[in-house]
Structure 1
Amino acid sequence: MKKWLSNIGPGTLVTAAFIGPGTVTVCTLAGVTFGYSLLWALVLSIVACIVLQEMAARLGIITQKGLSEVIQSQFPNKVIRWGLIGIILSAIFIGNAAYEAGNISGGVLGLSTILGNPVIDVAGLQLNYQSLLIGVLAFALLYIGNYKVLERSLIGLVLFMSLAFILTAIATKPDLSLLVKGFVPSLSADKIVTVIGLVGTTVVPYNLFLHASLVKEKWQSASDLSSARKDTMIAVILGGLVSMAIIVAGASIQQTEIHNAADLAKSLEPVFGKMAKYVLSLGLFAAGITSAITAPLAAAYVVKGCLGWEGGLKTKRFRFVWMFILGLGVLFSSLGIKSIEIIRFAQVTNGLLLPIIAAFLLWVVNSKKILGKYTNTTQQNILGFLILMITVFLGAKSIWKVIESL
């Protein structure tokens, strides 16, 4: 067990980041609304996640630099370089701010089920004190930097929730013929936004930057590439199976309107009965806090790499970036918008931003100047460009759907 634990790499942290409140919510809503029919979208998401995260990990190990640092160093022309940096920073700030609001809102979903109504009146203003509470806790953990033990505990709670969903999926005794049909791709106009949400909740753009930055802390040479690939594949596949289990569990819910953790908890009732809402609440709270830490941290890494900042996690500039993202997350989650809607918006935003980040990644991993003989193979490029085209198509369809609704 000790040897196995010592070999666990950044892949597990990436998976822990994408199994957040957004995954629980979007996958449950997918199951409630469309049954098993979108399981194929998760298979697509898992393959895309493995392919792209492997590229990010390979880049980090070979260059010993983060993705943003590599991109920043490849353009001597200042106009082009700053134009690209502007696009990357805009994408990360928009995506991470929305994602952070979703993380905090997910934590609030969990807390509110246990503690009750999170809104209080302060001098005539409606204040969501639970969003502030989660924000303060995340701030303290990030500022002090001594949060590893707590983070591991929170990941343990997320894994507990994941096990609950897997058991629930089995307990609901799904129709195997319908389950198999769910892996056959079928797409209609009413499914587009949910499909983008499923892709966005699995292949999180900021995780590509985070993975490239984290791998160099554990692995330093090309001989470690095999270990990094195994770590990525196992972690992402396990995370994908959990997401599928949540869809299967969600498909067993009879009601179509879901507004809070108590509603989501109905999918856990076959296993936990009346204790279901408390189990899910703890899991959502754990998932929210864990992801609320990683999103601002990733944004700070991206800015640090793009702007070429020196120094570590405790520099003033690095802290300012994650404080800004965290502050936006708390603000957006406190505006009185339904938590479910914020979470769904965060996932769709990530799905729309993914093509931009994936295109940059594909470009750098095909540069022999950067990776030498470790550039993409033909097969990796075929998969990578296919994934890019699919994400572009889904993003374009989503934008068109929004335009039509105006």
Structure 2
Amino acid sequence: MTEIRFFAPFEVAVEVGEGVPVALTEQRKASWKLIGPGIVVAATGVGAGDMVATLIAGERFGYTLLWATIVGCLVKIALAEATGRWHLATERTIFDGWSSLGRWTHFYFGPYIVVWGFLYGATAMSASALPLAALFPVLPLWAWAMLCGVAGLVFVWFNQYAVFEKAMTVLIGLMFVTVVGLAVFVTPDIVATVKGLVPLLPQGSAVYTLGLIGGVGGTITMAAYGYWVNAKGWRDATWMRMMRWDNRVAYGMTGIFVIAMLIVGAELLYATNIALSEGDRGLLDLAGVLEERFGRVISVVFLIGFFAAAFSSILGVWHGVSLMFADFVGHLRGRVNRPVEERERSWEFRGYLLWLTFPPMLLLLFDRPFQLVIIYGVLGAFFMPFLALTLLWLLNSDRVPREWRNGIVSNVGLAVAGLLFIVLCAHEIWGYVQGG
């Protein structure tokens, strides 16, 4: 007897009959109660920088680029689903997949994760410190930043995934309620919102559009999604349906969050011609606008949401990227596919935690070395196209059981994502060349 099953995010019909593996016919039921890894990856990926980018898009173009935020969420759903599908279908990690493509992946990933961690550590600590310094001006910014880094280190060092997931859920709840509540409070223009769903490119908006599609919620932590899926206890293809449901719900929430930020930018800034500072400090400018318009209470509520967004990125990176580093070093030492619980206790995991926390503190006291910023920018710009195109390669190969390989729509989605990130990569590198 023949039955048709559908598999998301970009769902492909598969004919199920005799001889089809058990993985296809005994899928576990998707449940709201089990959602978690997607919440973690979404909370980690959307940080203070993404909030500013979306606000500035709203400030400069109003609701016109709303459609780009939705396309961006679809791109992230495709990438995260592909990462999770690799982990569940093969029961191997994404780094194991990269290693199978050749040692050139090690030569890229090794320098990248070391330099990225050094500079990202300072960036994340500074972003988390900004709202705390505004709320409690009893310590200088650098002191708050160091405290945030150490707090993230201590939490991740002494807790494993289950507690970590609960903390991330609380933080994304704060982010979501604060920012969406603020968007409702400022009363969005419904007609303009609907018009923003029509794809248009105002003059001078191309770079912002690409940034919204490719940037919001898109970092190395997307590759960590598979590790969090495994840490949840989802270890084989019977969890595929649950993983896809988890991924869609999480990035659906991300989409609502980003749309809310765009609404705030459009209503508070675009309509009144108020310009924000570049970088994370733009959120402090917004807090000032909110206090002037609506009073101190609304400003404080926003700063709490700002802190939740920034600190969730610290916790997520400290945990997820440390797992990836532990897997990378494990491959170099011939210890592949260790259980997540073992990686969380390994010296590689804890060593990278220390690397993320203490060396970057030097950058909090001094200006960043220009050469390191260039290396960070160039290596970082290559990561998202690297992720998209290697997933396209891996998921069309015989490394994956046939029933879980890409279908046409998945291939188109990953190819479009790869091309988009190549364009963004070229733009980023060109910006560094011109800046140099």
1:315 aligns with one of 328, 334, 346: 346
Rounded Cα–Cα distance in structure 1 between residues aligned with 2:128 and 2:214: 21
Partner of 1:325: 356
Rounded Cα–Cα distance in structure 1 between residues aligned with 2:358 and 2:252: 33
Asked whether 1:265 is paired with 2:287, we answer yes
Rounded Cα–Cα distance in structure 2 between residues aligned with 1:188 and 1:399: 23
Partner of 2:275: 256
The letter of the residue matching 1:281 is L
Q: After the TM superposition, which residues 226-305 of structure 1 pair with which residues of structure 2 at under 5 Å, given as runs?
A: 226-251=241-266, 252-253=268-269, 254=272, 255-258=274-277, 259=281, 261-265=283-287, 273-305=295-327
1:174 aligned counterpart, secondary structure: coil
The letter of the residue matching 2:257 is V
Q: Kindly tell me: are residues 145 and 161 of structure 1, through their superposed partners in 2, closer, same or farther at Cα, counting changes over 3 Å? A: closer
2:216 aligned counterpart, secondary structure: helix
- Once the two structures are TM-superposed, the CA of residue 173 in structure 1 deviates from its matched residue by 3.0
Partner of 1:123: none
Asked whether 1:105 is paired with 2:126, we answer yes
- Once the two structures are TM-superposed, the CA of residue 304 in structure 1 deviates from its matched residue by 2.5
- Once the two structures are TM-superposed, the CA of residue 187 in structure 1 deviates from its matched residue by 6.3
The letter of the residue matching 1:138 is G
Q: Is the 8 A contact 1:151 1:290 kept in 2?
A: no
Partner of 1:206: 221
Q: Is the 8 A contact 1:27 1:243 kept in 2?
A: yes
- Once the two structures are TM-superposed, the CA of residue 193 in structure 1 deviates from its matched residue by 5.7
- Once the two structures are TM-superposed, the CA of residue 181 in structure 1 deviates from its matched residue by 3.9
Q: Is the 8 A contact 1:45 1:203 kept in 2?
A: no
| The structure with more helix, counted as a fraction of residues | 1
- Once the two structures are TM-superposed, the CA of residue 40 in structure 1 deviates from its matched residue by 2.7
1:257 aligned counterpart, secondary structure: coil
Q: State how many pairs are aligned.
A: 383
Asked whether 1:223 is paired with 2:248, we answer no
1:312 aligned counterpart, secondary structure: helix
Q: Is the 8 A contact 1:21 1:284 kept in 2?
A: yes
Q: After the TM superposition, which residues 157-172 of structure 1 pair with which residues of structure 2 at under 5 Å, given as runs?
A: 157-172=171-186
1:392 aligns with one of 414, 418, 422: 422
TM-score of the pair, normalised by structure 2: 0.78
Q: After the TM superposition, which residues 71-110 of structure 1 pair with which residues of structure 2 at under 5 Å, given as runs?
A: 71-72=98-99, 74-75=100-101, 80-81=102-103, 83-110=104-131
Partner of 2:366: 335
Partner of 1:135: 149
Partner of 1:13: 40
Q: Kindly tell me: are residues 298 and 157 of structure 1, through their superposed partners in 2, closer, same or farther at Cα, counting changes over 3 Å? A: closer
- Once the two structures are TM-superposed, the CA of residue 128 in structure 1 deviates from its matched residue by 1.4
- Once the two structures are TM-superposed, the CA of residue 346 in structure 1 deviates from its matched residue by 9.0
Structure 2: any 5+ residue segments left out of the alignment? 1-29, 369-374
Partner of 2:20: none
The letter of the residue matching 1:139 is L
Larger Rg: 2
**% same residue:** 22
Rounded Cα–Cα distance in structure 2 between residues aligned with 1:369 and 1:147: 28
- Once the two structures are TM-superposed, the CA of residue 373 in structure 1 deviates from its matched residue by 2.4
Q: After the TM superposition, which residues 178-217 of structure 1 pair with which residues of structure 2 at under 5 Å, given as runs?
A: 178-183=192-197, 184-186=199-201, 189=204, 191-192=206-207, 195-196=210-211, 199-208=214-223, 210-217=224-231
1:368 aligned counterpart, secondary structure: coil
| Structure with more contact order per residue of length (Cα contacts < 8 Å, sep ≥ 6) | 1
Rounded Cα–Cα distance in structure 1 between residues aligned with 2:110 and 2:194: 41
1:222-278: per-residue Cα shift (whole Å, max 9, x none)?
A: 232111111111111111111111111022223203335442225756996321232
TM-score of the pair, normalised by structure 1: 0.83
Structure 1: any 5+ residue segments left out of the alignment? 120-126, 338-344
Q: Kindly tell me: are residues 257 and 287 of structure 1, through their superposed partners in 2, closer, same or farther at Cα, counting changes over 3 Å? A: closer
Q: Kindly tell me: are residues 36 and 282 of structure 1, through their superposed partners in 2, closer, same or farther at Cα, counting changes over 3 Å? A: same
Partner of 1:55: 82
Structure 1 range deviating more: 141-150 or 387-396: 141-150
The letter of the residue matching 2:158 is I
Partner of 1:25: 52
Rounded Cα–Cα distance in structure 1 between residues aligned with 2:117 and 2:72: 19
